[in-house]
Amino acid sequence: MTDLGIRAATPADSEFLVDMLVEAVNWMPERNWSREQVLANPALAHYVTGWMQPDDFGLVAVDPGDRPVGAAWFRYLTAADPGYGYVSDDVPELTIGVVETWRGRGVGRALLRAVLDAARERGIPAVSLSVERANFAARLYAAEGFRTVESFEDADTMRFDIASRAQ
Ligand SMILES: CC(C)(COP(=O)(O)OP(=O)(O)OC[C@H]1O[C@@H](n2cnc3c(N)ncnc32)[C@H](O)[C@@H]1OP(=O)(O)O)[C@@H](O)C(=O)NCCC(=O)NCCS
């Protein structure tokens, strides 16, 4: 993370968040969804549609030239339009992605820790996410304190209880 900064996401980051959502969808080399395919799929697009909504919150990691290299954000989805990692209306879902050339250098872990700290500061009791089990990101989440609360064929829903954890 040397020389990288982390700042709050703004409405101007909406396109970059779409980029990172596409990266999250295409985490495996065999999958290559286009941006258009992702945005045309309501179950995926609703993680970024209309960014930013009043309850949205996110962080962007930037390189020394202020170019974004990764993002982590949470969004409240509802029982009427649940995300893959939905647990309840009052638990936002986390999405995270790092630009390919920056992966494996600590950006993802730093973003994850920072966004969980930010959630705590905002009084959010818990956050959840969905991760395909074969994605190494699942191990990162577990190492940072997420626990699996529901398992599907290929994916797990994981939850991080902020309120119950020591600072
Ligand atoms: C998942 C992701 C956000 C992690 O960010 P990152 O910056 O690459 O991760 P970090 O460098 O902080 O590494 C975190 C841990 O994962 C490990 N790791 C990193 N890349 C790895 C890889 N390709 N395979 C296995 N483990 C890996 C690291 O070793 C590190 O663990 P360690 O500190 O114990 O060594 C990023 O790789 C990414 O954007 N992937 C594609 C999108 C995606 O999968 N999003 C999540 C969908 S649920």
Q: Could you tell me the CATH number of the domain that includes residue 128?
A: 3.40.630.30
Domain annotation covers residue 166: no
Sorted by sequence, the CB contacts under 8 Å of residue 54 that are 6+ apart come out as none
Domain ranges, residue 73: 5-161
Q: What's at 80, amino acid-wise?
A: A
Kindly tell me if the per-residue pLDDT of 163 is higher than 90: no
CA distances from 161 to 18, 36, 119, 152 (A): 27, 34, 10, 21
For ligand 1, the distance from its centroid to the CA atom of residue 167, given in whole angstroms, is: 23
Based on C-alpha coordinates, what's the Rg of the chain? 15
Query: pLDDT grade, residue 167 (50/70/90)?
Result: low
Judging by beta carbons within 10 Å of its beta carbon (0-12, 13-18, 19+), is residue 59 exposed, middle or buried?
buried
* Ligand 1 pocket, residue 107 CB under 6 Å: yes
Count of domains forming the chain: 1
Smallest Cα–Cα separation from 24: which of 149, 165, 140?
Answer: 140
* Ligand 1 pocket, residue 120 CB under 6 Å: no
- Out of 32, 38, 103, mutate this one to test ligand 1's pocket (max ligand atoms within 8 Å of CB): namely 103
Judging by beta carbons within 10 Å of its beta carbon (0-12, 13-18, 19+), is residue 100 exposed, middle or buried?
exposed
**Which atom of ligand 1 lies closest to the CA of 129?**
48
Residue nearest to atom 4 of ligand 1 (CA): 108
For ligand 1, the distance from its centroid to the CA atom of residue 35, given in whole angstroms, is: 22
pLDDT of residue 166: 60
Sorted by sequence, the CB contacts under 8 Å of residue 58 that are 6+ apart come out as 8, 9, 13, 17, 52, 71, 72, 73, 74, 115
Residue nearest to atom 34 of ligand 1 (CA): 140
Domain annotation covers residue 154: yes
pLDDT of residue 164: 73
Domain annotation covers residue 47: yes
Domain annotation covers residue 31: yes
- The average confidence (pLDDT) of the chain is 96
Domain annotation covers residue 167: no
Domain annotation covers residue 85: yes
For ligand 1, the distance from its centroid to the CA atom of residue 41, given in whole angstroms, is: 25
Query: pLDDT grade, residue 3 (50/70/90)?
Result: confident
pLDDT digits (tens, 9 = 90+) for 29-63: 999 999 999 999 999 999 999 999 999 999 999 99
* Ligand 1 pocket, residue 113 CB under 6 Å: no
